[in-house]
Amino acid sequence: MIKVSIIVPVYNASKTLNRCLQSLVGQTLSEIEIIAVDDCSSDDSWDILQAWESKYPEKMIIIKNQKNLGAGGARNEALKYVHGEYIGFCDSDDYVHTDMYRAMYEEAVRGDYDFVDCGYLDEKEDKGYLKTGDNCTGVLNAVKRNELIAAGGYLVSHIFKRELFDGITFRENIILEDMEILMELILKADKISSVKEIFYMYCFYENSSSRKQDPKRYYNAIINAVDAIKDKVISRVNYEDVRSSVEYAVTYLLTLGTINLLDKNNGLSQRERNIMCTEIKKRRDLLIGIPVKKNEYSIKKIPLIDSDLLFDL
């Protein structure tokens, strides 16, 4: 019986892939499967995956996409092959502690939790974080869900019950492809927990596809993320319970988009700026109903000098 299925999207990851996979196949939890999806890499990532599959055929499932779909599309493909009770995610440029999935799985089954979070190390900042505090664990209510959504975090530091992903898909060929996914999962879950140890190593690479973006693509990613939140989160029946935290997240994204738009060195023409400004204002006026200065999360987390840029457009 597979206890945890670990999904790894792979794209031109030859420099870091071996380290990532070594940390996964060496897990102290033996009942795992590693589903690695090569998303049309142009380096030797596929050869590396084949070598690991040959060495660990009982643990490795490797898939080669025929079309580049981005990290979201690779995850969607991997979800079709999942057999585990729980699902975890690991990025191919990161790695994990060898005891991560044992500790998290044991905690998950101990309380029949819908998902479990753990601490992660931000390599660039050289700081450890745990986004799910004791005030948010146990049976979820509106207060806890708001705190979880406002705290943010990453899918990769969690494991989730497999059925929690029923009806959930990632957006393809885009960065910020999972902004709304964690919100959806928080709204679907009934009971959660956390493990207070740093297990996930979040590494920083300047050339990572999620970091090195031109202004137009970054803008499009923000607009798509906001639209996904509108379509997948705001439409849920329990949305009013988490409105303040979701509106904070939308405000934060649109503020980033505004700062990107107003950067005089971004190479955008005035016509492009005008179009982008119009689209940002549409979403601002449609989705942000609570004044920023009355939203407890926006007040705490977004500098007024930045949010003022958004509302002065």
Domain ranges of the chain: 4-197, 215-311
The per-residue pLDDT for range 106-147, each reduced to its tens digit, is 999 999 999 999 999 999 999 999 999 999 999 999 999 999
Mean pLDDT in residue range 234-252: 95
Amino acid 237: pLDDT: 87
**By the 8 A CB rule, do 12 and 41 touch?**
yes
Lowest mean pLDDT among 117-126, 208-217, 245-254, 282-291: 208-217
> ∠ CA(257), CA(262), CA(263), 5° rounding?
100
What residue type is 117 in one-letter code? Answer: D
pTM of the model: 0.94
Handedness of CA 91, 96, 100, 101 (dihedral sign): positive
**By the 8 A CB rule, do 26 and 57 touch?**
no
Reduced to 3 states (helix: H, G, I; strand: E, B; else coil), residue 290 is: coil
Mean pLDDT in residue range 236-265: 95
The per-residue pLDDT for range 33-62, each reduced to its tens digit, is 999 999 999 999 999 999 999 999 999 999
Amino acid 212: pLDDT: 47
DSSP character string of 70-134: HHHHHHHHHHTT--SSEEEE--TT-EE-TTHHHHHHHHHHHHT-SEEEEEEEETTTTEEE--S-G
Amino acid 279: pLDDT: 97
Q: Give me the residue label for tokens 């956390």.
A: 194
**CA 143/CA 136 separation, integer angstroms:** 8
**Is the pLDDT confidence value at 150 over 70?**
yes
Amino acid 255: pLDDT: 97
CATH number of 4-197: 3.90.550.10
- Alpha-carbon distance values, 210 to 108, 173, 178, 217, 268 (Å): 30, 11, 11, 11, 21
**Is the pLDDT confidence value at 236 over 60?**
yes
